[in-house]
Chain A
């Protein structure tokens, strides 16, 4: 009898958490019928938010890949304390509250921000623009990609890189023809995680870019606004985002399995 207690307790606790995680998602799908979905998606707000989300998330992903890949490569190659410190600091945006991220972005890039006078015209502010949406998305999603990409590059056998150099390959060829292809599944996983985080970004975007329809109102912000004015739109957009998230998770899993 006592031999059954431990597995029973473990099973019960695991089931409780699984239900707590799945129930809201099931409720969302079950309580959003086809009529509500159609009515919600027919709203012009919905399509404007979807379009803005797709464009800004694509731009932020491109920026994350372009800038994050070299950072991840350099971090993976370096053993210095400085590199370890940069690696730790680069993960901070993952753990800080979104509201804190929003305030930090305002203080860096806002009208009176740290770099505003240097980079932008005197009477112009990045805040409350589409650019601010991209900045907020990059800030919260880049660390996820850099973390995954650094790990992927570290998994590449050092001996392969050494041999490539002895064959006469310069640093660019070693990176492009050996390291990048071998790390590709890990980089794809990281890109998927980064994309889904950017797509779902809410707090920092709200504080830095605002919630201006057709300008900075992404899908998550549109859901927030619609909850008070038209819950059908909120439900429909939520199901849409859930479908995107599920699709991305599937893609990440498949990429990991290929590894």
Chain B
């Protein structure tokens, strides 16, 4: 379980987020500027909250009262940013090997390469091993970025607008792909999106963020059937994205 209790400021936006993310897919939706990406950055330790607590499987990653603030590299959170951020100077294989090397620096080179290939096979992209990131399509880049994130054996996953860079046709296909792949992992996974249809297809549970605050959380069907505010009602209809 990823437990999030955060209070902080990002510019003039006051962020107050409380989430409980069980293994499965949790979609955090809201319009641009609602604080979705800032929430992810606070979880990753890139932005410092003013107060609160973040714990993963009972271990505190951040606790303002106990003065715990683990650096990003020790939080065990896998991250897929919007542009996927594949290392352009490395091949696909080397990108995934990078993650393996960070987790197991004493692993011999051959074993490292083998393990990287396993992750590429698991995501159905072993044929891309020798390609450079610049030559990949959006969908291919996402699969490789996911393989790389999983190679670090994270305890939770954070995805920032994973479908925003894709055309509508690819988006539908990748949505189904993410639903299947991420659902099978059994990890607490937070997907941030401005599109309510992402929550509808992907989410086991979701939350709507407005002006830095979670206004309602639950299953998407529940938010649609019984919206707590006009904003939630408009958002799940697709009027407020």
Residues of B within 8 A of A182 (CB): 88-89
Which 10 residue pairs of A and B lie closest in terms of their CB atoms, listed nearest first?
Answer: A168-B102, A166-B79, A165-B72, A163-B85, A159-B85, A167-B99, A167-B152, A165-B73, A169-B102, A181-B89
Does B148 lie within 8 Å of A167, measured CB to CB?
Answer: yes
A170 vs B73: C-alpha distance when bound (angstroms): 6
A165 vs B73: C-alpha distance when bound (angstroms): 5
**Closest B residue to A184 using CB positions:** B89
Within 8 A of B (CB), among A174-197: 177-178, 181-182
Asked if A42 is at the interface of the complex by the 8 Å CB criterion, the answer is no
* Whole-angstrom distance between the Cβ of B229 and the nearest chain A Cβ: 33
Residues of A within 8 A of B79 (CB): 162-163, 166
Asked if A14 is at the interface of the complex by the 8 Å CB criterion, the answer is no
Contact with B73, one of A159, A160, A168, A178 (Cβ below 8 angstroms): A168
Does A162 lie within 8 Å of B148, measured CB to CB?
Answer: no
Does B81 lie within 8 Å of A178, measured CB to CB?
Answer: no
Asked if B87 is at the interface of the complex by the 8 Å CB criterion, the answer is yes
Residues of A within 8 A of B44 (CB): 162, 166
**Closest A residue to B72 using CB positions:** A165
A207 vs B66: C-alpha distance when bound (angstroms): 59
Does A178 lie within 8 Å of B77, measured CB to CB?
Answer: no
Residues of B within 8 A of A170 (CB): 73
A168 vs B152: C-alpha distance when bound (angstroms): 7
Does B103 lie within 8 Å of A159, measured CB to CB?
Answer: no
A77 vs B42: C-alpha distance when bound (angstroms): 19
Within 8 A of A (CB), among B67-102: 71-75, 77-79, 81, 83, 85, 87-89, 98-99, 102
Asked if B46 is at the interface of the complex by the 8 Å CB criterion, the answer is yes
Does B98 lie within 8 Å of A164, measured CB to CB?
Answer: yes
New A-B contacts (17) at CB < 8 Å, excluding given A157-B85, A167-B152: A162-B44, A162-B46, A163-B85, A164-B87, A164-B98, A165-B71, A167-B78, A167-B99, A167-B102, A167-B149, A168-B103, A169-B73, A169-B98, A173-B102, A177-B98, A181-B89, A182-B88
A160 vs B90: C-alpha distance when bound (angstroms): 12
Residues of B within 8 A of A165 (CB): 71-73
Does B87 lie within 8 Å of A160, measured CB to CB?
Answer: yes
* Interface 1/0 per residue, A135-163 and B, CB below 8 Å: 00000000000000000000001011011
Contact with B81, one of A159, A168, A169, A177 (Cβ below 8 angstroms): A159
